[in-house]
């Protein structure tokens, strides 16, 4: 080999080794780095066919009007949107749109010219058949179906050329409470968003490469932005200490002690960002409670809201805690899951305050406790716990019952609140037995399941939290560990009211949630109930740690309508029905089989006019308008990810085999190039 | 380049290549071998034993047999879909409907071993699922989607029987852990066959 070629080989070798190392290095961070978090839903879109090339374009939204009524924590919204068919053909439009996470759509009205078609709640399959029949008969029809918790599809059949259709929908949601403030968010992205440069963010490239859906994503051209008008009325139940919008300029007016009105500063606002409204009730030294009621069908529906005291005073009222960490080290936790669980516990240890007590329990086929019983959170014991957690290894079965028994055993020391942080992937088969055990042995403890891994058993987590009177946290990726654990601990730090009981003064009262959780500094507590008898006051009792707390509330009705025309006044009844449906869907009523649950949900859906998994809204016009024999073109819309509804991620299902083989081949190439000189020539020459 | 350095590079890269190659080749071999061992414990399960572990230290057991005649495919499905389980066979995702039951039964498998066949699945294909107990169920493939890993709606329960198969996407990616998933959904067809017979 000549010196020059020798050098070339040398640098080639080094280059290849470098490339291989670099490859191995980048391979790791790439894992799990994407796809988690709250990516955006890219607005709702009404798609219409355009031209002969088979593409579809969004129909122009002419305008949007939004009116929202807030009763305590319930917001009812009415959204009016007008669409126009700009083409020359009769079309069926399919409109997919996001609503706030917990929004429950209950009304759909379609206005075509002078005609008003009121949507009816029907069992889902029947609604679909009614719609299809109307479509085939050339009638105007509209169908609203729930695709996923916060994604809805509205189909409108037989829109004539140049015709304008107005769709009015009403929904209800529970407003969020964040850092001492209520926050109402209205996704103005509900109107089409036009993005001049390419497809919306988050659309995987594969949709271009491999059309899985029959619809090619619409081209996002420049288009006029839809103007929006918006008004909000808030009956907060308390006097407010602040009311403002971080997103838009607003005007406000106070109607009475606890009722406020809000409207956008200019009449029409471009729908380029979500509307956000924040308000904070004036808070005192002790928890406060408010009660809203309404009559419906001879029954009284009540909404009880308890808000924690001013955080400035919360420190004083803070109950000392006994925290029991339980970590699942069974075989199914092996790998990334166990690493995340360890990280979560390490973060949790940092959160302990002097005066708190704690213990760590590990379980797989057997249960192992770090300390025989809880110890004070001093630096030495925390250090010991850190070592213990570090040394954990995943192996064996999932014998959860013993671990639960160890965690819930006995009573916490006098004056302490016991919080059990239960980190697991929930890979168990004997769920009902475990739930029963938790229900029986919970005592003064509270159970906070933390779901770990790519496919945790979310049913187990949710139900265990419910039976354990705690909340459930889900951690889907290593990136979420510290954020989610911090949020959990901020909340757990300050239980302000435990063992809450509500005396409804009516033996037939049906309250949801049936088991009332504790009140924490970070979260108001909302209980709904249906009362059958005449009740004029209710009594709320709890333990403040320093002593008992009690409030007597008189029943009152929500403030009457003001300037804006209110929708049907059934916010509280609907919230009650929605919560009961959630409980039913969770299999919350023991012994109920699937068919019984379905029937009960359909009944509630029909009685309270709610769109559920089993009921849909359908609106059919009686007169055919499309010319006979016209078959409207149908289109579906590629569905986007619902924001924030990611309760988990799908299992990861690729092995490292192809990567290993590729690197192996590469390295083999390196070896071939760098093979000792003797073997570089033929055996005969070498001799 | 000195002869010593060359020798070092040669030996290092050759041995690394060997180790990685063995490792990379072992994964598919393990996937195949495991299915053979699983077939044995499946037979025992079918004859009435409960939760037959294929090897003493296993933390999973066979719960169904999945077949697709057109592709000559025959797989034993395991309980649970943790990474450890998936090395040996497709896994039933905890918390979803049981195989053969009412509701959405979700099974996931590795895109480069057991569930590689999904790339060849066509709409209308008939998947046969034999649960441990009860009759053989047939499912007709009605849809496939490419979704992000956070699109858990494919796991959502239904009130009618549905079989959902999940694997990673794209099939030929070299790096594991990408954000896309390939999802095949199949609805139960009315004709139920006699099953494997006990």
Q: Which residue in B174, B167, B179 sits closest to B81, CA to CA?
A: B167
B166 contacts A650? CB cut-off 8 A: yes
**Quick check: B98 contacting A, CB < 8 Å?**
no
Q: Which residues of B touch A655 (CB under 8 A)?
A: 27-28, 31, 87, 110, 112-113, 176
Interface-testing mutation among A148, A640, A657, with chain B (most B C-beta atoms within 10 A): A657
Give me the residue from A17, A398, A662 closest to B174, CB to CB.
Answer: A662
Q: Which residues pair with B60 in a beta bridge?
A: none
More confident residue, B117 or A139: B117
pTM to 2 decimals?
0.53
Residue A111: strand pairing partners: A116, A166
Cβ separation of A664 and B20 shorter than 8 Å? yes
**DSSP strands (E only) in chain B:** 62-68, 73-79, 91-92, 104-108, 126-131, 137-148, 162-169, 180-188
A·B CB contacts under 8 A: 232
* Answer CATH for A317-492 from 3.30.70.1140, 3.40.50.410, 3.20.20.150, 3.30.590.10: 3.40.50.410
Residues on chain B touching A601 (C-beta within 8 angstroms): none
Helix (H) or strand (E) holding A616: strand A615-624
- ipTM, two decimals, is 0.71
Which chain A residues are closer than 8 Å to B80 by Cβ? 332, 427
- Smallest CA–CA distance, residue B155 to chain A, in Å, is 8
Q: Which among A149, A655, A668, A686 is the top mutation candidate for probing chain B, defined by the most B β-carbons within 10 Å of its own β-carbon?
A: A655
pLDDT recorded at residue B38? 85
User: According to the model, what pLDDT value does residue A548 have?
Assistant: 83
Spell A388-416 as b/e; 16+ CB within 10 A means b. bbeebebbbbbbbeebbebbbeeebeeeb
> What percent of chain B stands above pLDDT 70?
91
Task: Give the pLDDT mean for B76-92.
Answer: 85
Taking the Cβ of residue B40 and every Cβ of chain A, the question of whether any pair is shorter than 8 Å is answered with no
Domain boundaries, given as residue ranges, for chain A: 317-492
Q: Quick one: pLDDT band at residue B129, thresholds 50, 70, 90?
A: very high
- Could you read off the pLDDT of B12-64 as tens digits, one per residue? 888 888 888 888 888 888 888 888 888 888 888 888 777 777 777 777 888 89
* C-alpha span between A387 and A364 (Å, rounded): 18
Distance CA B98, CA B103 (A): 8
Mutate to test the interface with A, among B18, B25, B80 (most CBs of A within 10 A): B80
Query: Is B18 at the interface with chain A, CB within 8 A?
Result: yes
Residue among A331, A426, A676 whose CB faces B10 most closely: A676
| B167–A653 CB contact, under 8 Å | yes
CA–CA distance, A665 with A661 (Å, rounded to integer): 6
* Predicted pLDDT of residue A98: 62
Q: Quick check: B32 contacting A, CB < 8 Å?
A: no
* φ, ψ (nearest 5 deg) of residue B96: -95, 170
The partner residue sitting opposite B159, judged by closest CB among A598, A647, A656, is A598
- Mean pLDDT of residues grouped by 10 in chain A (687 residues)? 47 45 34 26 42 45 79 87 71 66 73 75 82 80 68 71 81 78 73 28 28 26 54 87 85 86 72 77 80 80 83 56 89 79 86 85 89 88 91 81 87 80 79 82 86 69 81 75 79 76 82 79 81 80 80 64 47 86 66 76 84 75 50 33 37 74 84 69 43
Name the pLDDT band for B107 (thresholds 50, 70, 90).
Answer: very high
B176 touches chain A (CB under 8 A): yes
B174 touches A at CB < 8 Å? yes
A543 with A444: CB under 8 angstroms?
Answer: no
> What CA–CA distance (Å, rounded) separates A512 from A529?
6
Whole-angstrom Cα distance, residue A229 to residue A268? Answer: 5
């Amino acid at each position: 080999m000549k010196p020059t070629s020798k050098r070339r080989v040398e640098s080639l070798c080094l280059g290849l080794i470098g490339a291989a190392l670099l490859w191995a290095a980048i391979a790791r961070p790439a894992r799990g780095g994407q796809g988690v978090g709250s990516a955006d839903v890219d607005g709702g879109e009404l798609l219409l066919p355009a031209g002969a090339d088979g593409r579809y374009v969004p129909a122009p939204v002419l305008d949007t009007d939004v009116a929202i009524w807030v009763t305590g924590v319930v917001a009812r919204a009415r959204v009016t949107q007008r669409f126009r068919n700009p083409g020359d053909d009769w079309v069926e439009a399919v409109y997919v749109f996001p609503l706030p996470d917990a929004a429950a759509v209950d009304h759909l009205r379609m206005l075509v010219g002078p005609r008003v078609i009121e949507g009816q709640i029907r069992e889902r399959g029947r609604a679909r058949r009614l719609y299809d029949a109307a479509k085939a008969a050339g009638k105007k029809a509209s169908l609203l179906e729930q695709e996923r918790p916060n994604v809805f599809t509205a189909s409108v059949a037989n829109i004539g050329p140049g015709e304008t259709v107005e769709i009015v929908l009403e929904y209800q949601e529970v407003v969020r409470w964040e850092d001492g403030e209520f926050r109402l968010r209205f996704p103005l992205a509900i109107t089409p968003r036009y993005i001049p440069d390419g497809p919306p963010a988050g659309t995987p490239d594969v949709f271009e490469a491999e059309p899985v859906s029959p619809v090619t994503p619409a081209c996002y051209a420049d288009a006029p932005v839809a103007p929006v008008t918006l008004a909000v009325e808030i009956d907060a139940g308390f006097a407010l200490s602040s009311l403002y919008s971080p997103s838009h300029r607003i005007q406000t007016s106070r109607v009475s002690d606890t009722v406020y009105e809000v409207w956008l500063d200019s009449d029409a606002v471009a729908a380029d960002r979500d509307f956000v409204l924040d308000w904070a009730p004036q808070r005192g030294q002790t928890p406060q409670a408010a009660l809203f009621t309404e009559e419906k069908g001879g029954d009284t529906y009540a909404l009880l809201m308890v808000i924690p005291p001013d955080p400035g005073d919360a420190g004083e009222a803070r109950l000392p805690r006994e925290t029991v960490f339980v970590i699942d080290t069974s075989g199914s936790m092996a790998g990334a899951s166990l690493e995340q669980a360890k990280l979560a516990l390490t973060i949790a240890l940092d959160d302990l305050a002097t005066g708190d007590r704690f213990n760590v329990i590990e379980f797989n086929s057997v249960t192992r406790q770090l300390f025989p019983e809880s110890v004070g959170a001093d630096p030495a014991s925390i250090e010991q716990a850190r070592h213990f957690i570090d040394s954990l290894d995943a192996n064996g079965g999932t014998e959860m019952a013993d671990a639960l028994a160890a965690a819930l055993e006995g009573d916490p020391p006098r004056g302490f609140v016991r919080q059990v942080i239960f980190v697991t992937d929930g890979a168990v088969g004997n769920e009902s037995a475990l739930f029963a055990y938790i229900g029986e042995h919970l005592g003064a403890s509270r159970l906070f399941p933390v779901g770990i891994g790519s496919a945790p058993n979310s049913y187990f987590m949710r139900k265990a939290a419910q039976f354990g009177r705690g909340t459930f946290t889900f951690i889907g990726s290593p990136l979420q560990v510290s954020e989610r654990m911090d949020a959990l601990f901020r909340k757990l730090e300050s239980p302000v009211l435990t063992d809450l009981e509500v005396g409804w003064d009516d033996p037939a009262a049906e309250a949801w949630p049936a088991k009332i959780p504790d009140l924490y500094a970070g979260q108001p507590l909302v209980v709904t109930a249906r009362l059958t008898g005449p009740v004029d006051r209710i009594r709320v009792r709890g333990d403040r740690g320093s002593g008992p707390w009690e409030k007597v509330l008189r029943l009152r009705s929500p403030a009457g309508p003001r300037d804006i025309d209110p929708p049907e006044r059934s916010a509280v009844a609907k919230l009650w029905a929605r919560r009961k449906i959630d409980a039913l869907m969770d299999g919350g009523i023991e012994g109920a089989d699937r068919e019984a649950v379905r029937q009960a949900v359909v009944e509630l859906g029909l009685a309270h006019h709610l769109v559920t998994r089993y009921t849909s809204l359908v609106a059919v016009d009686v007169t055919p308008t499309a010319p006979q024999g016209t078959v409207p073109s149908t289109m579906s819309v590629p569905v986007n990810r619902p924001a924030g509804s990611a309760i988990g991620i799908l299992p990861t299902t690729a092995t490292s085999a192809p990567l290993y083989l590729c690197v192996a081949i590469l390295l083999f190439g390196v070896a071939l190039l760098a093979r000792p000189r003797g073997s570089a020539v033929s055996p005969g020459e070498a001799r | 380049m000195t002869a010593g350095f060359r020798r070092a590079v040669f030996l290092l890269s050759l041995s690394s290549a060997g180790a990685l190659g063995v490792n990379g080749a072992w994964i598919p071999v393990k996937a195949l071998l495991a299915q053979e061992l699983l077939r044995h414990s499946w037979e025992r399960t079918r004859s009435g034993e409960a939760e037959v572990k294929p090897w003493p230290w296993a933390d999973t057991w066979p719960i169904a047999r999945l077949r697709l005649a057109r592709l000559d495919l025959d797989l034993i499905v395991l309980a649970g879909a943790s990474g450890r389980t998936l090395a040996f066979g497709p896994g039933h995702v905890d918390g979803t409907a049981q195989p053969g039951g009412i509701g959405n039964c979700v099974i996931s498998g590795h895109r480069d071993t057991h569930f590689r066949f999904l790339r060849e699945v066509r709409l209308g294909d008939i998947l046969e699922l034999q649960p441990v107990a009860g009759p053989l169920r047939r499912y007709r493939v009605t849809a496939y989607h490419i979704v992000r890993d956070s699109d858990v709606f494919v796991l959502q329960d239904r009130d009618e029987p549905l079989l959902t198969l999940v694997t990673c996407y794209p099939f030929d990616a070299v790096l594991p852990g990408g954000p896309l998933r390939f999802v095949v959904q199949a609805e139960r067809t009315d004709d139920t066959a006699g099953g494997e017979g006990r």
